[in-house]
Every structure is written in structure tokens, then in C-alpha cells.
Chains A and B, each alone.
Chain A
Amino acid sequence: MLNYNRALSDEKSYQDLQIREVQPTIKLIIRGKKREFFSAVGKSLNMLLPTKPNTSSQGEDLTALWLSPDEWMVYSNKTVRNDTNEYEIEKLLYKNISKLNLGAITDVTDQFILVNLKGDKVYDLFESGCPFNFNEFRNKRGSVTQTILAKIDVIIHNQNESDINLFVRRSFAQHLFSWINDSASRL
């Protein structure tokens, strides 16, 4: 049996800001542009992919983030088992999309680390290292942005006002986590 090694070892809590890695969650990049692609994904996931830039849609089990006109990230709302990397949803999409040459399904479960940030200080933290304008973003539930935080590429998803999911590439995660903790300690 193999051991599962998460990227971030601890959780941190500050006044008005809690930071934790949510793992394991399934993450898939799905790409396509044909009309049949959209309906096949819709049927498979039981939800529609968002087509408006920088938005998301959420179903019972999954959330889909708009990344580009033909690219989405789908992630599981709940954590999954960590002793297997066989996912039903991937298999289903493979069957309904890849096999029919409608688009591409790629497992990126460990490509990204999902960090959940909660609390009133979330945007103060972002303002200390991110040039993105969060004025509209913070008031629009479901907003998505791909930007940089402390010079590192991140995807930020507004789940609910001060409940934020942040995706960062695994190799950058420890550096970003260290920066976040450094910055949060002075908020």
C-alpha cells in the first residue's frame, strides 16, 4: 500500500481568517467547443458548464469553473477517499466525451492544491499580494479569477462572500502557504 502525502502539513488560524487544505478532492480539466460537447458534459455531470467568463456553476457534487472559452475545471464539492485514484466521474466523462472525440478530459487532482480561506480578512490578505481588482468579485457569489498571488499563479473561486477556494499548483503550494502565513500574521 502506498502512503498519501498531502502538500501542506498544517492548518492555520488567525483572527478573522482560517486557512486549510481541503484534500483529497477530484479535479478535472475538461476542454471542448463543439455543441455536442456541451450537451454531453451537461448530461454526464447533471449540470451546465458556465459560459460567461470568470463565473462558475455548482451542482450537488461538483463545481465547474470557467477558465477559458473552451476550458473548465471541475472539482468535487466533498473530499474523496485517498486510497484510490480511480474516479467514477472521470470514467463517465471519458466514455461520453473522449471516446466520442468531443473534447478532452484530463485528471489534475494532484496538479492543484485546494486551499480554503475563510474569514473577514480574506480580501485584506489578497490585497497584500494580488493586483486583481476584487471590488466586484467579492460581491458576486460564484466569481472566478485566474490571477497571481505573491507572484504565483492561482485560481480563486468565490464560494460565498468570505469563503474562498483557492487553487495553486502543487509545487508552488508550500511557498505560497508560507507567504500567506507571513502576510496573515500582520493583518
Chain B
Amino acid sequence: MKKKLRVKRSKYIDETYKISFKFNGKLYYGFKGDTLASALLANDIHLVGRSFKYHRPRGIMTAGSEEPNAIVQIHNNSPWTEPNVRATEVEIYEGLEASSQNCWPSVNFDIGGINNFLSPLLPAGFYYKTFMWPASFWEKYEYFIRKSAGLGKSPTKPDPDVYEHRYIHCDVLVIGAGISGIISAKTAAKNGFKTLLVDEKPYLGGSTIYQNSEYYKINNQNSGSWLEKEINEIKKIENLEIKTRTSVAAYHGYNYLLARENLTDHLPIERRKNKTRHKLLKIRAKKVVTATGSIERPLIFDNNDRPGILLSSAIKKYADFFGVACGEKNILFTNNDSAYETAISLIQKGINVEAIVDNREKVDSKLIYEVEKNNIKIFKGHTIINTYGYKRINKISIMQLSKDGQNVIGSKINLSCDCLGISGGWTPAVHLFTQSGGKLKFRDEDQVFIPNIYPSDQISVGACNGDFTLNSILSNVPKSLKDFLDIKNNVYESFEVLSSYNNSKRNIWLLPSDKILGKTKSFVDYQNDATAKDIKLALREGFKSIEHVKRYTTTGMGTDQGKLGNMHALGIISETSEAKMGELGTTTFRPPYTPLTFGTIVGRNVGEYFDVYRKTPIHEWHIKNNAKFENVGQWKRAWYYPRDNEDMFQAVQRESKAARESAGILDASTLGKIDIQGTDASEFLNRVYTNAWSKLQIGRCRYGLMLNEDGMVYDDGVTTRLGENHYLMTTTTGGAANVLGKLEDYLQTEWPELDVYLTSVTDHFATISVCGPNSKKIISEIFPSLDLSDKNFPHMSFKKTKIGKIHCRIMRISFTGEQSYEINVQANFGKSVWEKCMEVGKNYNITPYGTETMHLLRAEKGFIIVGQDTDATMTPIDLQMDWIVSKKKYDFIGKRSLYRSDTIREDRKQLVGLLTDNPNEILEEGAQIVADINKSPIEMLGHVTSSYFSPNLKKSIALGVVKGGKNMLGQKLIIPMENKKINVTVTDPVFLDKENKRLNA
């Protein structure tokens, strides 16, 4: 017969809106407003999963984010699948599919359940102890252990959802929208602070909003109704932003917080299209009010984990908020007044309460009297010693507690039930406070850790600060806020409060049983199956620190991070080792508070937006002409332009031949360009480059090497003197931003006396380099009025000119060893100039070439590339570029370092050319170079830095760095490869046109 568990209409559940969903393949119904947990409970389903180690049947235990048991996989085998989702937080929607985890073949019949019977053989540290020997077997063990590890299944398909980040700056952030949070938000906002209020739940009001009891009143209204009015009021405040379904994940230093705003998880999948699933809010708050409330504690007794055992507060919420009875024969077990609140709620709704087991003796409490009036049997001074029922609780045994609470006395009483609510008092949710660096103190009266020392401008209020009763919240919260926000006007006058809660509590961390501890299973961490016995074992084996016990027993290491049981673990350690709780401390609370998806963390930084890319003004032309692209820094540079079915090698051979034989054209717009002006510009260049600049004539260009302070080559490039006090410096593509930063840094901090100004013009100009024997003809056709004679326009000089009305600059400089002209024109005209070059160059077979051909051409000429042939350990001397280091200059960056004992060593790695004995053999870049293959250990002399097949020289050429290479000209060396040895000869690094005939032709 179907049970009637949906007991009473609740305004939070829309019973006119029926929703179907699947759990473990079976179709069920719930209503709009239900969570997966409440809908399952309404369908009389408690068993939802299996525990990690013993595969014990487990049910829904809580109604919130602290849930350790009811974690499910949703949408298994689809792109939307997600493991370890708490059923207590999933809002149901049409089409939701959820399934149990960690069980096979099904949650009802799980082979792994055998572990439960083997449990005497599986103590804490079982894996550490068992799989140690023999050490060499680990690889075999590992395979099986990995198979049984882990809970849900990670998704294997690409995530179809979109995630975003959002930066928020507010005056006051209020975390938690329970009664304390609502009061805080209103107080802050009404005093003009830009306020943000966030709560992880889809509704506001915490647990007070569904408190509809004659025993809790504010200004003569039921506390729930009072709060509802407050909420309606704050929704209208303009400078208050309210975010529900938003869970603060991390609280970092200086009030920087991360929160996840959940936007579509509650919608049917087809309605999520084109919407952001989660937003990661990056919040900078001037002040933070933490009002995260508290989490009810379980009680630790034998078999305290069966399906049907819930926190007493969860039973109350399912009844009050969702209108769901968790059972028809309910028993409550408590050490404080909270369970009586639950009982009163259940009675109100006509849900049967069989009995209450209270471990306290005699308590004067209005709540208890009310329950007694309803003829409910209360067992005072009793404790539960065991529970029964495999997949659902059906019976409990209770006994009387001794005076000291350490033993049980009298005779056993059995009570039957189908649901048991447990309440061990409350633990303030201090997680975020502690993450921020806050220090806790222990309050002995009710055995709780509460905030003590605040590391930033923040405050904790309400239950998370240890104020558990309506009385104390309403008297303390407004007062604390007044000081914290330094406000003059009270938003609240004094309250008239009725609060019937009696604070008395009998705290026993581990309840006694009639059996010896070794025969009991009293779970402390439900998800990881850590029992009180395991903790005591760890202590016996010598673990003292809470951090060690945690790792040994895995207490608190599940997806719930021990939100329920960690306090009991501490309590048991404290009792056993006779250390004070306050001195023991807690384990470290680490972010995130509840798990985040990777998508949330990554946000929109995926695919196209993973990294920034830069394009030259000529980019579109390259695409149209079939260029392949290479990433250089953040730039997309044309790499080579394959024709027909050419591969890279073939394309590069063709391109480089054309450049040497007739004409080539290269997009060099990516080179860094820095405009340097000022009366001290020449002196400035003297200080940053190794060579001398004072005598460079206006209109001439010069190559410079820039060193780091350590004397190592940092950057290089050609600088042109445009005017008396005006230079244009070029830098490497990848080094541009760093060079500008370094030079600006020197000007501001080391040489403030210099009259020099730098401005980046990298993006202002398109740079088009035309090279080859016919380059002069092409340039002269484009600039007919320009005198291109070697006398007027020699190598290493520049001219200002115009195309039509557009000003541009031409530098006759070369990175290829060919005669070559670089046209610098304003970027928006760059593509047009390029096209003009192509048009005019047609007659000369002008061939566009990419970075690969450029690298080959310069290698033929022995020109270095900073970052390829150098690696921050090469001095100019190592590069055999002694000629560029001025001996006369007083100083330049890195000068002193060039004369250290290590930098003048003769056997440093030095740049040399390498020729293979077999001219068709191409070396691999990065390959090691040795002299004696038989030496053991083999001595590495250096490595290959650049290597190509040169179609112009018709042989393979390479550059490399070799210890003492300078003095090894003509010497034979060996490059050992995986399956062969390649013989090479050390040569001069310049392979082509040593006399510079081509340049000056």
C-alpha cells in the first residue's frame, strides 16, 4: 500500500506543478520546489547510496550541503553527467536522471557489501599496512586499488555548458541569508553601503523562514512571518544585490572571496541552451559579514548510519519546508532541546512521533512540556546502544546512562521505528572564517569552536558565531553590526522576543554501549567509513596530532570534508588522550567549502579564449593565401605558404630559393618597435646596448645586442637614428613587452636624470620586408622618386618617403643576408602596401615566405635568434660576437658581469657551425653533441640549436653550442641519436657570403 508521506501543503512546494524524474532508472514524481532528496523521501526512498569502504547501505541524512551519504551521479553517460552531487541540493526538474554511486550491480544488491563482513580485517590504515611488502609488488596492487577507489564517474565527453567569471566590488558582503544575514544586509544597505547578500539555497531566510511555532516570536509575530516581511522589504532596496543559489567557496586574505553562482542547474536541459551554467564570482569586499549559521551534529553510537537515520533538523525541514514525512514511526534521539522543536513540528503536521530518547536527566523546558502534553514517551537519561535493519532502520535498543555518562546501566529496551532523528547540538559553520586566516577559540559550556581573532575587516554573526537562540541573535547581531559598520542610525529598535529554547546540553562525544568498542560500528565520518574505533586505534598506534589522525583514518577527507563528524573525531581524541579541545585545535579548513566544477574555475578561458592571440594588419592576406601559422609569443605569424600539396620542407625549400634567387617578401610587423626621444637618447642607447651609439649618423641604422645584468644576451635588434634626438628601436617579437618594461624601469629608477621618453609603436606600423637580388627593382617601382643607389641609400640606412599621401619609412636592413628593404607604414595601410608589393613583384616571382624560411635564410648567414641559439646563459663572447662589445664605453647593462672569472672561461659553451659528413643528413634541434662516444659516463659537450637543409648551399647546415667550440674549428664531433651516430665537423657559423657581397650588391 502506498504510504501518504506528502503530509501538508507547503508554500515552498507547488503541488500544481508535477515533475517527473528518474532515479536508478525508475520513474518518480515530485513537485516544483522539491530537491531530489525531498522527492525521494516523499516516495519513501531512503536508500540512495553505498559507503566508500564497507559499501554499507546509506540514506539521506541531511537537508543541506553538509550531506555525506546521499551523493549521486546525475545524467550518467551523457555530456551533462556529474558525479558526487548532493541529492539534498539538487532541485528537481523535468527529465532529471540520477543514479546511485559506488555500488555494483545495484544499490540494492552490491557485491562490494562483502567488505562490511570483512571489516574486522580492514582496520584504519589497512592499505598502508598491507600493501607495503614486497615493495616491488606495488605496481600490481595499485591496479586493483585504483579500480576500487573513487566514488562517481568523471565525464568523458566535452562539457557542453558555458561558464563565466564576474568581478564584483562591494562595500559589504553578507554571506548567508538566514535571520542574521537578513538583519545584517538590511542594516548595511539602509546605511548606504553597496551591499551584496548571497545564499547557497534557492530561497532566502535560512531555517527561520519555515519556523512557524508559537514558541518563537518576534514582536508578537511568529518568527517565520516576521522574517518574511523583512525579506520582502530588503528586496526593494536599490543598493542591495541579492544572489541565491550562490555558494561562497573560498575566503582568501584581504577580503577576496570566490563564490559560485548556479544559474541553470535547476532547469530542464533543453532550457539551458545559450545560458551560462555557473558564474564564478570574484568578490572584493571592503567588509564581510559572515552569517553562515550552524550545522547540526550527529550522535556517535553503534550502527548510527542506517538508511532512515537523519539529523533531527533535517526531519524538521522536510516536514516544514517540503511537507514531507521522513517516516511514519519517528523516534528522536537528542542531547539538547532541538529535537523537541522537530517533534512539535511533526505533531503540528500530524506526523507520528513514537518516542524521544534524551540523554539528559531533568530539564526545565517549555518545549519538553509541550511534547509531553501530546503524550509522547520521553526516555530521559537514556542512550541508544544499537540500531537494526539493513536497508532501512526498523528498531533501536536503548539503555539508561550512568551518572558520568561513560556506561550504560539497567536493562535494554527495544523500540521499533522507521525513521530516527538525531541531534547532538550545533556546530558553528566557521569554515569561511578559518579559511580567511581567522583564529578560533573553544567555548567549554557548549563545546563549540567560535571565531576569536579576525584577520581582516570582517565579522561573524549569528549561529556561526555561537549565538544559537533567537534571543541571542536578536540582541547581539544588531549590536555587533553597529560597531562593525560604525553606524549612527539603528535600523532596528529593540525587539520583543519569545524564545523557548533551553540551552542545556549533555555532550558525550562517543556514547557508551553494552558491547566493547571493538565490536561496534559507531561512524564518525559517514562517507569514508571512519569509526570511533578507528580513531582510537590511530591514537594507540602513536598518532597524536589531529592532522595525522585525519590522514591515517581518512576522517573528514570525503567530499563533505567532515562537516558533520570532525568535531566528534576531535572530541574522541581529546577524551582519549586527555588533551583539552581548545589546545588540540581543528584540522585545516581549506577551500572550496563545497566542491566546484572545473568549468566554474576555468570560466570562459576555453577554446578560442584560452589564450590571447595577436594578428598583424596583413593577417587576412596570409589566410587567403593558404599560410600555415605559428605561435610566436601571442602572435599568429605566417609560418610557410604551401602550394598544391607541398609539405613544410618542400615549401621552405621553394621559398628560400626564391628569396635568394629573385625576391621574397615577409610580414615582419610583429617585431617590437620602441620610439625613443629626448636629448639623452644617444647616451641612453650607449647604456642599454653593448656597442657605441654616439657617432651613429642621422638616417643610419645599427644592430645592437642588449644584455641582462648578468652579462647574458637578452635581446637584439636594429635601431635607426631618425633625428638628432630621435631613434626607433626594434626588438625581438617575443621580447618586445619585456624590453620596454625593463627600459622604462631603468629610466624611472636608475637613470631619472636622463631626458629620454619611450613609446611603444609596435602596433602602429606594419612592417613589410622585401629581400633578394630583385628587391631593389621592386622598391623602385613602388617609390619611383626615391634614389635607391648604394651611394644615396646604402645598406644600414633609412629614408622617409611617401606612397601617395601616406608617409612611410624604408629601412635598408637585412636579416637574410640578401639585399633587403623594410617598409614601415601605418598599420591600416599595411595590407594595401603588401598587395602593391605582390603586384609589382609578380614579374620577379616575388614569393611570400614565413618564419620557417626566415629562420633558414638567417642560419645560412649565421645570424642568431635570441631565445633559439641563446638561452640566458650565452654572453656575446660565447656567440663569437666579440666585435659588438665596446671596450671603450664607461658602462652598459651587464658589462661588469662579462669580466667575472666564470664568464671569461675559455671552455664555456660557444656558438659554432656544424656540417654533417653526409650533406643530406639533417640534424635534430636539441640533439646532444659529444666527442668521445666510449667515455663513461659519456661527456656532453653541447647541443644543436638550429638545423636546416639549405637549398642554396645544397647541404645540411646547423648551429650549435659546444664547450670550447671557438677553438675546435675543423674538429670532428659525434651526434649520437637513438639508432645511429652522426658525424659532424665544427665550422664557422657563417655559411654563406662571408664577405657581405649580397648585402651591398
- Using CB atoms and an 8 Å cutoff, list the residues of chain A in contact with chain B: 1-7, 23-24, 29, 31-32, 70-71, 82-86, 98, 101, 103-112, 127-135, 150-152, 169-172, 174-175, 178-179, 182-183, 185-186
Interface residues in B803-857 by Cβ distance below 8 A to A read 803-807, 825-833, 835-836
- A86 to B807, Cβ gap below 8 A? yes
Please judge, given known A-B contacts A2-B833, A83-B805, A169-B763, whether A110 and B828 are in contact too, CB under 8 Å: yes
Complex contacts, B830 vs chain A, CB 8 Å: 5
Complex CA–CA separation, A132 to B168 (angstroms): 9
Question: Other CB < 8 Å A-B pairs besides A2-B825, A132-B167, A170-B827, 9 of them?
Answer: A5-B830, A106-B759, A106-B761, A171-B635, A171-B670, A171-B763, A172-B612, A174-B615, A179-B609
Which 6 A-B pairs rank lowest in CB-CB distance, beginning with the nearest?
A: A104-B677, A171-B614, A104-B757, A111-B764, A110-B827, A31-B757
Complex contacts, A86 vs chain B, CB 8 Å: 805, 807
- A127 to B168, Cβ gap below 8 A? yes
* Shortest distance from the beta carbon of A98 to any chain B beta carbon, whole Å: 7
Report if B660 contacts A (CB, 8 A): no
When C-beta atoms are compared, the residue in chain A nearest to B168 turns out to be A127
Q: Which of A23, A84, A101, A132 contacts B679 (CB 8 A)?
A: A101
Report if B678 contacts A (CB, 8 A): yes
Complex contacts, A85 vs chain B, CB 8 Å: 805-807, 826, 829
Complex contacts, B284 vs chain A, CB 8 Å: 133
**Chain B 255-276 interface 0/1 with A at a Cβ cutoff of 8 Å (1 = within):** 0000000000000000000111
- A7 to B609, Cβ gap below 8 A? no
* Shortest distance from the beta carbon of B945 to any chain A beta carbon, whole Å: 28
Complex contacts, B988 vs chain A, CB 8 Å: none
* Shortest distance from the beta carbon of A139 to any chain B beta carbon, whole Å: 12
- A106 to B806, Cβ gap below 8 A? no
Complex CA–CA separation, A131 to B603 (angstroms): 14
B158-166, B336-344, B447-455 - interface stretch: B158-166
- A84 to B806, Cβ gap below 8 A? yes
Q: Which of A134, A178, A186 contacts B274 (CB 8 A)?
A: A186
Complex contacts, A23 vs chain B, CB 8 Å: 828
Complex CA–CA separation, A70 to B763 (angstroms): 22
- B164 to A186, Cβ gap below 8 A? yes
- B757 to A32, Cβ gap below 8 A? yes
When C-beta atoms are compared, the residue in chain A nearest to B827 turns out to be A110
Q: Can you give 16 A-B contacts (C-beta < 8 A)? A: A2-B836, A7-B828, A83-B804, A84-B806, A85-B806, A85-B807, A98-B677, A104-B675, A107-B764, A108-B761, A111-B763, A127-B168, A129-B604, A132-B167, A133-B169, A150-B609
Complex contacts, A171 vs chain B, CB 8 Å: 614-616, 635, 670, 762-763
Complex contacts, A183 vs chain B, CB 8 Å: 164, 604
- A170 to B763, Cβ gap below 8 A? yes
Interface residues in B227-248 by Cβ distance below 8 A to A read none
- A106 to B826, Cβ gap below 8 A? no
Q: Which of A3, A24, A71, A108 contacts B831 (CB 8 A)?
A: A3
Report if B760 contacts A (CB, 8 A): yes
Complex CA–CA separation, A42 to B804 (angstroms): 33
- Using CB atoms and an 8 Å cutoff, list the residues of chain B in contact with chain A: 162, 164-169, 194, 274-276, 282, 284, 604, 608-609, 612-617, 635, 670, 675, 677-679, 725-726, 755, 757, 759-765, 803-807, 825-833, 835-836
Complex CA–CA separation, A127 to B275 (angstroms): 17
Complex contacts, A103 vs chain B, CB 8 Å: 677, 757
- A111 to B762, Cβ gap below 8 A? yes
Complex contacts, B276 vs chain A, CB 8 Å: 186
Q: Which of A86, A103, A170 has the most CB of B within 10 A?
A: A170
- A182 to B604, Cβ gap below 8 A? yes
Q: Which of A24, A29, A134, A135 contacts B759 (CB 8 A)?
A: A29
Complex contacts, B803 vs chain A, CB 8 Å: 2
Q: Which of A7, A83, A106, A129 has the most CB of B within 10 A?
A: A106
- A3 to B832, Cβ gap below 8 A? yes
- A2 to B804, Cβ gap below 8 A? yes
When C-beta atoms are compared, the residue in chain A nearest to B194 turns out to be A135
Complex CA–CA separation, A111 to B763 (angstroms): 4
* Shortest distance from the beta carbon of B399 to any chain A beta carbon, whole Å: 61
- B829 to A4, Cβ gap below 8 A? yes
Complex contacts, A32 vs chain B, CB 8 Å: 757
Q: Which of B282, B615, B755, B760 contacts A111 (CB 8 A)?
A: B760
Complex CA–CA separation, A24 to B827 (angstroms): 12
- B831 to A5, Cβ gap below 8 A? yes
When C-beta atoms are compared, the residue in chain A nearest to B764 turns out to be A111
Please judge, given known A-B contacts A83-B805, A106-B677, A170-B763, whether A5 and B608 are in contact too, CB under 8 Å: no
Complex contacts, B825 vs chain A, CB 8 Å: 2
When C-beta atoms are compared, the residue in chain A nearest to B635 turns out to be A171
Q: Which of A3, A7, A170 contacts B829 (CB 8 A)?
A: A3
When C-beta atoms are compared, the residue in chain A nearest to B833 turns out to be A2
When C-beta atoms are compared, the residue in chain B nearest to A130 turns out to be B167
Complex contacts, A134 vs chain B, CB 8 Å: 169
- A6 to B763, Cβ gap below 8 A? no
- A110 to B282, Cβ gap below 8 A? no
When C-beta atoms are compared, the residue in chain B nearest to A124 turns out to be B166
* Shortest distance from the beta carbon of B414 to any chain A beta carbon, whole Å: 60
- B836 to A178, Cβ gap below 8 A? no
Q: Which of B762, B804, B829, B835 has the most CB of A within 10 A?
A: B829
Complex contacts, B806 vs chain A, CB 8 Å: 2, 84-85
- B675 to A106, Cβ gap below 8 A? yes
Q: Which of A82, A84, A85, A112 has the most CB of B within 10 A?
A: A85
* Shortest distance from the beta carbon of B241 to any chain A beta carbon, whole Å: 12
Complex CA–CA separation, A108 to B826 (angstroms): 9
- A6 to B169, Cβ gap below 8 A? no
- B805 to A84, Cβ gap below 8 A? yes
* Shortest distance from the beta carbon of A54 to any chain B beta carbon, whole Å: 16
- A108 to B764, Cβ gap below 8 A? yes
Complex CA–CA separation, A86 to B802 (angstroms): 11
